[in-house]
Structure 1
Amino acid sequence: MNLIHLVSITFCFSSSIAAPSHHRGNENCEPQKTPLYGTKWCLFERHQAEIGSICWFSCVKGYHLRGPTVTKCVFDYETQKPHYNATIGFCEADAPILREGKNGPYLLHSYDPSNYVIHVGFGEQVTLKSYYYLALYVKSPGVNGVKNTVSILVQGDRNKYIKSNGTHVYTGDMLENTPLEQDRATFWLRENHFFRGYAAFESFTKQGYFLKHQSRKIVLSKVDDKEDTVCASFIWTRDL
Protein backbone atom coordinates (compact mmCIF):
# COMPACT_ATOMS: atom_id res chain seq x y z
CA MET A 1 0.00 0.00 0.00
CA ASN A 2 1.36 3.44 -0.92
CA LEU A 3 1.51 5.90 1.96
CA ILE A 4 0.45 9.48 1.20
CA HIS A 5 2.15 12.20 3.24
CA LEU A 6 -0.19 15.09 3.96
CA VAL A 7 1.37 18.49 3.32
CA SER A 8 -0.07 21.69 4.72
CA ILE A 9 2.25 24.69 4.84
CA THR A 10 1.56 28.34 5.65
CA PHE A 11 3.99 31.18 4.99
CA CYS A 12 3.14 34.65 6.28
CA PHE A 13 5.10 37.79 5.56
CA SER A 14 4.93 41.20 7.17
CA SER A 15 4.61 44.30 5.02
CA SER A 16 4.81 48.04 5.49
CA ILE A 17 1.61 48.46 3.47
CA ALA A 18 -0.97 50.22 5.64
CA ALA A 19 -4.39 48.68 6.15
CA PRO A 20 -7.34 50.51 4.49
CA SER A 21 -8.82 53.43 6.38
CA HIS A 22 -12.17 51.64 6.79
CA HIS A 23 -10.62 49.17 9.23
CA ARG A 24 -13.07 49.05 12.15
CA GLY A 25 -11.24 48.60 15.44
CA ASN A 26 -9.92 45.08 15.91
CA GLU A 27 -12.33 43.46 13.43
CA ASN A 28 -10.64 40.88 11.23
CA CYS A 29 -11.72 38.32 8.69
CA GLU A 30 -12.11 34.74 9.79
CA PRO A 31 -8.68 33.25 8.91
CA GLN A 32 -8.71 30.99 5.87
CA LYS A 33 -7.17 27.55 6.22
CA THR A 34 -4.34 26.20 4.12
CA PRO A 35 -5.69 23.62 1.63
CA LEU A 36 -4.68 20.03 2.16
CA TYR A 37 -1.63 19.34 -0.06
CA GLY A 38 -1.36 23.11 -0.46
CA THR A 39 0.50 26.22 0.63
CA LYS A 40 -0.61 29.72 1.64
CA TRP A 41 1.30 33.01 1.59
CA CYS A 42 -0.15 36.13 3.20
CA LEU A 43 0.83 39.82 2.96
CA PHE A 44 -0.30 41.97 5.91
CA GLU A 45 0.67 44.80 8.25
CA ARG A 46 -0.23 43.51 11.72
CA HIS A 47 -2.37 40.36 11.40
CA GLN A 48 -2.76 37.90 8.54
CA ALA A 49 -6.58 38.16 8.61
CA GLU A 50 -6.87 41.95 8.97
CA ILE A 51 -8.79 44.06 6.48
CA GLY A 52 -6.63 44.64 3.43
CA SER A 53 -4.51 41.54 3.90
CA ILE A 54 -3.96 39.41 0.80
CA CYS A 55 -3.31 35.65 0.66
CA TRP A 56 -1.98 33.55 -2.22
CA PHE A 57 -2.69 29.83 -2.56
CA SER A 58 -0.96 27.05 -4.49
CA CYS A 59 -0.54 23.28 -4.37
CA VAL A 60 2.43 20.97 -3.96
CA LYS A 61 3.79 19.02 -6.91
CA GLY A 62 1.34 16.44 -8.22
CA TYR A 63 -1.73 18.55 -7.37
CA HIS A 64 -3.57 21.47 -8.94
CA LEU A 65 -5.74 24.13 -7.33
CA ARG A 66 -9.52 24.14 -7.78
CA GLY A 67 -10.42 27.66 -6.73
CA PRO A 68 -8.96 31.18 -6.56
CA THR A 69 -5.21 31.70 -6.31
CA VAL A 70 -5.63 35.02 -4.46
CA THR A 71 -8.06 36.22 -1.76
CA LYS A 72 -8.35 39.56 0.01
CA CYS A 73 -9.94 40.55 3.33
CA VAL A 74 -12.44 43.33 2.62
CA PHE A 75 -15.10 45.21 4.59
CA ASP A 76 -18.73 44.57 3.60
CA TYR A 77 -20.73 47.77 4.11
CA GLU A 78 -24.04 45.91 3.86
CA THR A 79 -23.32 43.44 6.67
CA GLN A 80 -20.90 45.81 8.42
CA LYS A 81 -18.50 42.90 8.77
CA PRO A 82 -15.17 41.99 7.16
CA HIS A 83 -14.87 38.88 4.98
CA TYR A 84 -12.63 37.43 2.32
CA ASN A 85 -13.73 38.21 -1.23
CA ALA A 86 -13.54 34.55 -2.29
CA THR A 87 -13.86 31.11 -0.74
CA ILE A 88 -10.68 29.07 -0.74
CA GLY A 89 -10.50 26.11 -3.07
CA PHE A 90 -8.86 22.73 -2.66
CA CYS A 91 -5.90 20.85 -4.09
CA GLU A 92 -6.86 18.04 -6.45
CA ALA A 93 -4.52 15.27 -7.63
CA ASP A 94 -3.22 15.60 -11.18
CA ALA A 95 -4.31 13.01 -13.71
CA PRO A 96 -1.94 10.04 -14.10
CA ILE A 97 0.58 10.51 -16.91
CA LEU A 98 -0.45 8.67 -20.05
CA ARG A 99 2.13 6.24 -21.42
CA GLU A 100 2.27 4.89 -24.95
CA GLY A 101 -0.25 2.11 -25.38
CA LYS A 102 -3.27 1.23 -23.25
CA ASN A 103 -3.65 3.13 -19.96
CA GLY A 104 -6.07 2.43 -17.13
CA PRO A 105 -8.53 1.41 -16.00
CA TYR A 106 -9.69 4.94 -15.21
CA LEU A 107 -12.80 6.86 -14.35
CA LEU A 108 -13.36 9.91 -16.56
CA HIS A 109 -14.73 12.57 -14.20
CA SER A 110 -16.35 15.77 -15.42
CA TYR A 111 -15.05 19.09 -14.11
CA ASP A 112 -18.48 19.90 -12.75
CA PRO A 113 -20.31 18.09 -11.29
CA SER A 114 -17.08 16.41 -10.20
CA ASN A 115 -18.78 13.28 -8.84
CA TYR A 116 -20.14 12.41 -12.29
CA VAL A 117 -18.25 10.20 -14.74
CA ILE A 118 -18.55 9.25 -18.39
CA HIS A 119 -20.60 6.05 -18.55
CA VAL A 120 -21.33 3.58 -21.32
CA GLY A 121 -24.52 1.61 -20.75
CA PHE A 122 -26.58 -0.74 -22.86
CA GLY A 123 -26.60 -0.05 -26.57
CA GLU A 124 -24.41 2.69 -27.99
CA GLN A 125 -25.34 5.64 -25.77
CA VAL A 126 -22.63 7.50 -23.85
CA THR A 127 -23.88 9.38 -20.79
CA LEU A 128 -22.79 11.10 -17.58
CA LYS A 129 -23.74 9.35 -14.35
CA SER A 130 -23.03 9.61 -10.64
CA TYR A 131 -24.20 6.28 -9.31
CA TYR A 132 -22.81 3.71 -11.74
CA TYR A 133 -19.07 3.77 -12.30
CA LEU A 134 -17.68 2.04 -15.37
CA ALA A 135 -13.93 2.05 -15.84
CA LEU A 136 -12.53 3.00 -19.23
CA TYR A 137 -9.11 2.74 -20.84
CA VAL A 138 -7.23 5.48 -22.66
CA LYS A 139 -5.08 4.46 -25.64
CA SER A 140 -2.22 6.80 -26.51
CA PRO A 141 -1.81 7.62 -29.33
CA GLY A 142 -5.30 7.03 -30.74
CA VAL A 143 -6.13 4.09 -32.98
CA ASN A 144 -5.20 6.09 -36.09
CA GLY A 145 -1.65 6.43 -34.71
CA VAL A 146 -1.45 10.24 -34.90
CA LYS A 147 0.70 11.89 -32.22
CA ASN A 148 -1.07 13.81 -29.41
CA THR A 149 -4.31 11.89 -29.86
CA VAL A 150 -6.12 9.31 -27.73
CA SER A 151 -8.88 6.75 -28.06
CA ILE A 152 -11.23 5.73 -25.24
CA LEU A 153 -11.93 2.00 -24.86
CA VAL A 154 -14.83 0.42 -22.99
CA GLN A 155 -13.85 -1.89 -20.13
CA GLY A 156 -14.38 -5.58 -20.84
CA ASP A 157 -14.65 -5.20 -24.59
CA ARG A 158 -11.43 -4.46 -26.42
CA ASN A 159 -13.24 -3.77 -29.69
CA LYS A 160 -15.58 -1.10 -28.29
CA TYR A 161 -14.52 2.54 -28.57
CA ILE A 162 -16.16 5.87 -27.92
CA LYS A 163 -16.70 7.38 -31.37
CA SER A 164 -18.18 10.49 -32.91
CA ASN A 165 -20.04 11.03 -36.16
CA GLY A 166 -21.19 14.56 -36.76
CA THR A 167 -22.32 15.70 -33.29
CA HIS A 168 -23.41 12.20 -32.28
CA VAL A 169 -21.26 10.35 -29.72
CA TYR A 170 -21.66 6.59 -29.40
CA THR A 171 -19.77 3.35 -28.83
CA GLY A 172 -18.82 1.08 -31.68
CA ASP A 173 -16.48 -1.72 -32.61
CA MET A 174 -13.46 -1.60 -34.89
CA LEU A 175 -14.25 -4.72 -36.91
CA GLU A 176 -14.01 -2.83 -40.20
CA ASN A 177 -10.95 -0.90 -38.98
CA THR A 178 -11.07 1.48 -41.95
CA PRO A 179 -9.23 4.83 -41.80
CA LEU A 180 -12.58 6.62 -41.38
CA GLU A 181 -13.59 4.40 -38.43
CA GLN A 182 -10.17 4.89 -36.86
CA ASP A 183 -10.52 8.67 -37.15
CA ARG A 184 -14.02 8.59 -35.64
CA ALA A 185 -12.60 6.76 -32.61
CA THR A 186 -9.73 9.23 -32.21
CA PHE A 187 -9.66 12.55 -30.35
CA TRP A 188 -7.05 15.27 -30.02
CA LEU A 189 -5.95 15.38 -26.37
CA ARG A 190 -5.97 19.02 -25.19
CA GLU A 191 -4.46 18.92 -21.71
CA ASN A 192 -4.97 21.97 -19.44
CA HIS A 193 -7.05 23.42 -22.25
CA PHE A 194 -9.84 25.14 -20.31
CA PHE A 195 -8.83 24.38 -16.70
CA ARG A 196 -5.54 23.51 -15.04
CA GLY A 197 -5.31 19.76 -14.51
CA TYR A 198 -8.21 18.93 -16.84
CA ALA A 199 -8.25 17.76 -20.44
CA ALA A 200 -10.57 18.44 -23.34
CA PHE A 201 -11.14 15.90 -26.13
CA GLU A 202 -11.42 17.49 -29.56
CA SER A 203 -12.86 15.50 -32.44
CA PHE A 204 -10.26 14.35 -34.96
CA THR A 205 -12.80 14.54 -37.78
CA LYS A 206 -14.64 17.73 -36.78
CA GLN A 207 -12.22 20.50 -35.86
CA GLY A 208 -13.31 22.80 -33.06
CA TYR A 209 -15.86 20.32 -31.66
CA PHE A 210 -15.29 18.74 -28.24
CA LEU A 211 -16.76 15.97 -26.13
CA LYS A 212 -19.19 17.74 -23.80
CA HIS A 213 -21.89 16.67 -21.37
CA GLN A 214 -25.29 18.15 -22.09
CA SER A 215 -28.41 17.11 -20.17
CA ARG A 216 -26.42 14.11 -18.87
CA LYS A 217 -25.57 12.95 -22.40
CA ILE A 218 -22.14 13.10 -24.00
CA VAL A 219 -22.30 15.00 -27.29
CA LEU A 220 -19.88 16.63 -29.69
CA SER A 221 -20.24 20.39 -29.62
CA LYS A 222 -18.49 23.71 -30.03
CA VAL A 223 -17.36 25.50 -26.89
CA ASP A 224 -18.76 29.02 -26.98
CA ASP A 225 -18.91 30.25 -23.38
CA LYS A 226 -17.80 29.66 -19.78
CA GLU A 227 -20.53 27.07 -19.15
CA ASP A 228 -19.37 25.12 -22.19
CA THR A 229 -15.77 25.02 -20.94
CA VAL A 230 -16.99 23.48 -17.67
CA CYS A 231 -19.01 20.84 -19.53
CA ALA A 232 -16.14 20.03 -21.91
CA SER A 233 -13.44 19.41 -19.28
CA PHE A 234 -12.61 15.96 -17.88
CA ILE A 235 -9.97 14.24 -15.78
CA TRP A 236 -9.06 10.56 -15.57
CA THR A 237 -8.44 9.06 -12.14
CA ARG A 238 -7.73 5.64 -10.64
CA ASP A 239 -10.48 6.05 -8.01
CA LEU A 240 -12.37 2.90 -9.00
Structure 2
Amino acid sequence: MLLLLLYLTDVLICCQAAVSDLQTDLGSNVIINCDLDEKEVYWILLKTPDPPTLILRSFPAPTPPFYINNTFRKKYSVQFKHRLVINNVTVDELGVYYCMNTRTPPKLSNSTRLYINESTQLTGLTGCHNITATDYTDQTHWLIISIILGLMNGLLIIVVVGLVKVFVVGNRRSAEQSQQLNADLQQMQVTGQHQDQLHYAEVNFSKLRRNIRSSQINSTYAALNLPRS
Protein backbone atom coordinates (compact mmCIF):
# COMPACT_ATOMS: atom_id res chain seq x y z
CA MET A 1 0.00 0.00 0.00
CA LEU A 2 2.84 2.40 0.84
CA LEU A 3 4.58 1.61 -2.45
CA LEU A 4 1.39 2.43 -4.34
CA LEU A 5 1.14 5.76 -2.52
CA LEU A 6 4.72 6.53 -3.46
CA TYR A 7 3.99 5.99 -7.13
CA LEU A 8 0.92 8.18 -6.91
CA THR A 9 2.85 10.93 -5.17
CA ASP A 10 5.50 10.63 -7.88
CA VAL A 11 2.97 11.90 -10.41
CA LEU A 12 1.59 14.53 -8.04
CA ILE A 13 4.96 15.98 -7.05
CA CYS A 14 6.11 16.24 -10.65
CA CYS A 15 2.97 18.09 -11.69
CA GLN A 16 2.72 20.51 -8.78
CA ALA A 17 4.04 24.04 -9.10
CA ALA A 18 5.51 24.47 -5.59
CA VAL A 19 9.01 23.21 -6.35
CA SER A 20 11.87 25.30 -5.00
CA ASP A 21 15.46 25.07 -6.18
CA LEU A 22 18.35 24.64 -3.77
CA GLN A 23 21.83 24.96 -5.22
CA THR A 24 24.70 23.30 -3.40
CA ASP A 25 28.27 22.13 -3.89
CA LEU A 26 29.49 18.58 -3.79
CA GLY A 27 30.76 17.65 -0.34
CA SER A 28 28.70 20.27 1.53
CA ASN A 29 25.90 19.78 4.07
CA VAL A 30 22.32 20.77 3.27
CA ILE A 31 19.16 21.23 5.38
CA ILE A 32 15.70 20.86 3.83
CA ASN A 33 12.58 21.96 5.72
CA CYS A 34 9.30 20.07 5.97
CA ASP A 35 6.33 22.45 5.98
CA LEU A 36 3.80 19.85 7.16
CA ASP A 37 2.38 20.21 10.67
CA GLU A 38 2.42 16.50 11.42
CA LYS A 39 3.68 14.34 14.28
CA GLU A 40 5.20 11.77 11.94
CA VAL A 41 6.35 12.14 8.34
CA TYR A 42 8.13 10.21 5.62
CA TRP A 43 11.06 11.76 3.79
CA ILE A 44 11.18 10.77 0.12
CA LEU A 45 13.71 11.33 -2.67
CA LEU A 46 12.57 11.47 -6.30
CA LYS A 47 15.17 10.90 -9.00
CA THR A 48 13.44 10.51 -12.34
CA PRO A 49 13.00 8.21 -14.13
CA ASP A 50 13.63 5.99 -11.08
CA PRO A 51 10.76 5.25 -8.69
CA PRO A 52 10.58 7.27 -5.45
CA THR A 53 13.02 6.28 -2.71
CA LEU A 54 11.73 6.17 0.86
CA ILE A 55 14.53 7.45 3.08
CA LEU A 56 13.26 7.47 6.64
CA ARG A 57 10.31 7.99 8.94
CA SER A 58 10.61 10.89 11.35
CA PHE A 59 8.98 10.97 14.81
CA PRO A 60 8.58 13.68 17.45
CA ALA A 61 11.68 14.29 19.59
CA PRO A 62 13.36 12.55 21.31
CA THR A 63 12.38 9.42 19.33
CA PRO A 64 15.07 8.70 16.71
CA PRO A 65 14.03 8.29 13.08
CA PHE A 66 13.45 4.91 11.49
CA TYR A 67 15.68 4.36 8.46
CA ILE A 68 14.34 2.24 5.63
CA ASN A 69 17.89 1.31 4.69
CA ASN A 70 20.77 1.35 7.17
CA THR A 71 23.07 2.89 4.56
CA PHE A 72 21.03 6.09 4.82
CA ARG A 73 22.24 6.64 8.40
CA LYS A 74 25.58 7.99 7.14
CA LYS A 75 23.97 10.49 4.80
CA TYR A 76 20.71 11.63 6.38
CA SER A 77 19.65 12.85 9.80
CA VAL A 78 16.67 14.74 11.25
CA GLN A 79 16.50 17.95 13.25
CA PHE A 80 13.67 19.76 15.01
CA LYS A 81 10.33 19.89 13.11
CA HIS A 82 11.34 17.06 10.79
CA ARG A 83 14.07 19.05 9.03
CA LEU A 84 16.17 16.73 6.87
CA VAL A 85 19.96 17.09 7.01
CA ILE A 86 22.04 15.75 4.12
CA ASN A 87 25.72 15.23 4.96
CA ASN A 88 28.52 15.38 2.38
CA VAL A 89 26.36 15.77 -0.71
CA THR A 90 27.32 13.65 -3.71
CA VAL A 91 25.72 13.13 -7.10
CA ASP A 92 23.65 10.29 -5.64
CA GLU A 93 21.82 12.73 -3.34
CA LEU A 94 20.75 15.12 -6.09
CA GLY A 95 17.05 15.15 -6.88
CA VAL A 96 13.69 16.31 -5.52
CA TYR A 97 13.02 15.96 -1.80
CA TYR A 98 9.63 16.18 -0.08
CA CYS A 99 7.97 14.94 3.07
CA MET A 100 4.62 13.14 3.32
CA ASN A 101 2.30 12.38 6.22
CA THR A 102 1.86 8.81 7.45
CA ARG A 103 -1.93 8.86 7.26
CA THR A 104 -4.33 8.49 4.35
CA PRO A 105 -5.12 10.29 2.19
CA PRO A 106 -1.51 11.34 1.54
CA LYS A 107 -0.54 14.94 2.19
CA LEU A 108 2.61 16.26 0.53
CA SER A 109 4.86 19.15 1.43
CA ASN A 110 6.37 21.62 -1.02
CA SER A 111 9.25 19.87 -2.74
CA THR A 112 12.87 21.04 -2.94
CA ARG A 113 15.06 20.36 -5.95
CA LEU A 114 18.67 19.87 -4.90
CA TYR A 115 21.18 20.49 -7.68
CA ILE A 116 24.77 21.58 -8.32
CA ASN A 117 25.78 24.49 -10.55
CA GLU A 118 28.12 22.79 -13.01
CA SER A 119 28.24 22.51 -16.78
CA THR A 120 28.29 18.73 -16.42
CA GLN A 121 25.01 18.72 -14.55
CA LEU A 122 23.31 15.36 -14.96
CA THR A 123 20.05 15.41 -16.86
CA GLY A 124 17.44 13.27 -15.14
CA LEU A 125 18.86 13.75 -11.64
CA THR A 126 17.78 17.38 -11.33
CA GLY A 127 14.08 16.77 -10.74
CA CYS A 128 10.88 17.34 -12.65
CA HIS A 129 11.95 20.45 -14.61
CA ASN A 130 13.69 18.30 -17.23
CA ILE A 131 10.72 15.98 -17.81
CA THR A 132 8.64 16.45 -20.94
CA ALA A 133 4.90 15.99 -21.35
CA THR A 134 5.54 12.71 -23.13
CA ASP A 135 7.47 11.44 -20.10
CA TYR A 136 4.53 12.34 -17.85
CA THR A 137 2.12 10.49 -20.16
CA ASP A 138 4.30 7.39 -20.31
CA GLN A 139 4.75 7.34 -16.54
CA THR A 140 1.01 7.76 -16.01
CA HIS A 141 0.21 4.92 -18.41
CA TRP A 142 2.69 2.60 -16.75
CA LEU A 143 1.36 3.60 -13.35
CA ILE A 144 -2.21 2.76 -14.34
CA ILE A 145 -1.11 -0.57 -15.83
CA SER A 146 0.85 -1.41 -12.67
CA ILE A 147 -2.14 -0.61 -10.45
CA ILE A 148 -4.49 -2.73 -12.58
CA LEU A 149 -2.06 -5.66 -12.62
CA GLY A 150 -1.60 -5.38 -8.86
CA LEU A 151 -5.35 -5.42 -8.25
CA MET A 152 -5.83 -8.41 -10.58
CA ASN A 153 -3.04 -10.33 -8.88
CA GLY A 154 -4.50 -9.57 -5.46
CA LEU A 155 -7.97 -10.72 -6.57
CA LEU A 156 -6.53 -13.89 -8.08
CA ILE A 157 -4.69 -14.70 -4.85
CA ILE A 158 -7.89 -14.19 -2.82
CA VAL A 159 -9.86 -16.50 -5.15
CA VAL A 160 -7.18 -19.22 -5.04
CA VAL A 161 -6.95 -19.07 -1.24
CA GLY A 162 -10.75 -19.28 -0.98
CA LEU A 163 -10.91 -22.32 -3.27
CA VAL A 164 -8.15 -24.06 -1.33
CA LYS A 165 -9.97 -23.43 1.95
CA VAL A 166 -13.27 -24.73 0.55
CA PHE A 167 -11.57 -27.84 -0.84
CA VAL A 168 -9.70 -28.60 2.39
CA VAL A 169 -12.72 -27.98 4.63
CA GLY A 170 -14.95 -30.06 2.32
CA ASN A 171 -12.53 -32.99 2.39
CA ARG A 172 -12.28 -32.81 6.17
CA ARG A 173 -16.04 -32.79 6.57
CA SER A 174 -16.47 -35.69 4.13
CA ALA A 175 -13.84 -37.70 6.00
CA GLU A 176 -15.47 -36.94 9.36
CA GLN A 177 -18.93 -37.86 8.03
CA SER A 178 -17.58 -41.11 6.56
CA GLN A 179 -15.91 -42.02 9.85
CA GLN A 180 -19.09 -41.21 11.78
CA LEU A 181 -21.20 -43.27 9.36
CA ASN A 182 -18.84 -46.26 9.65
CA ALA A 183 -18.92 -45.98 13.43
CA ASP A 184 -22.74 -45.88 13.43
CA LEU A 185 -22.94 -48.93 11.15
CA GLN A 186 -20.54 -50.88 13.34
CA GLN A 187 -22.54 -49.92 16.42
CA MET A 188 -25.79 -51.04 14.77
CA GLN A 189 -24.25 -54.37 13.78
CA VAL A 190 -22.96 -55.00 17.30
CA THR A 191 -26.34 -54.07 18.79
CA GLY A 192 -28.18 -56.36 16.35
CA GLN A 193 -25.92 -59.29 17.17
CA HIS A 194 -26.55 -58.83 20.90
CA GLN A 195 -30.31 -58.69 20.38
CA ASP A 196 -30.30 -61.87 18.25
CA GLN A 197 -28.31 -63.73 20.88
CA LEU A 198 -30.63 -62.65 23.70
CA HIS A 199 -33.77 -63.60 21.76
CA TYR A 200 -32.40 -66.99 20.87
CA ALA A 201 -31.50 -67.68 24.48
CA GLU A 202 -34.99 -66.70 25.63
CA VAL A 203 -36.71 -69.10 23.17
CA ASN A 204 -34.52 -71.99 24.16
CA PHE A 205 -35.13 -71.27 27.81
CA SER A 206 -38.93 -71.30 27.39
CA LYS A 207 -38.82 -74.57 25.47
CA LEU A 208 -36.67 -76.07 28.15
CA ARG A 209 -39.16 -75.06 30.85
CA ARG A 210 -42.12 -76.58 28.94
CA ASN A 211 -40.27 -79.84 28.45
CA ILE A 212 -39.48 -79.99 32.14
CA ARG A 213 -43.09 -79.36 33.12
CA SER A 214 -44.46 -81.94 30.67
CA SER A 215 -42.12 -84.64 31.94
CA GLN A 216 -43.01 -83.85 35.53
CA ILE A 217 -46.76 -83.99 34.81
CA ASN A 218 -46.47 -87.34 32.99
CA SER A 219 -44.43 -88.81 35.84
CA THR A 220 -46.97 -87.71 38.43
CA TYR A 221 -49.86 -89.10 36.43
CA ALA A 222 -48.12 -92.44 36.04
CA ALA A 223 -47.56 -92.64 39.76
CA LEU A 224 -51.22 -91.98 40.62
CA ASN A 225 -52.69 -94.27 38.01
CA LEU A 226 -52.59 -97.56 39.95
CA PRO A 227 -53.12 -100.81 38.09
CA ARG A 228 -56.57 -102.33 38.38
CA SER A 229 -56.92 -105.76 40.02
Please give the TM-score of this superposition, normalised by the length of structure 1: 0.21
Please give the TM-score of this superposition, normalised by the length of structure 2: 0.22
In terms of fraction of residues, the more helix-rich structure is 2
Where relative contact order (Cα < 8 A, 6+ residues apart) is larger, the structure is 2
In terms of fraction of residues, the more strand-rich structure is 1
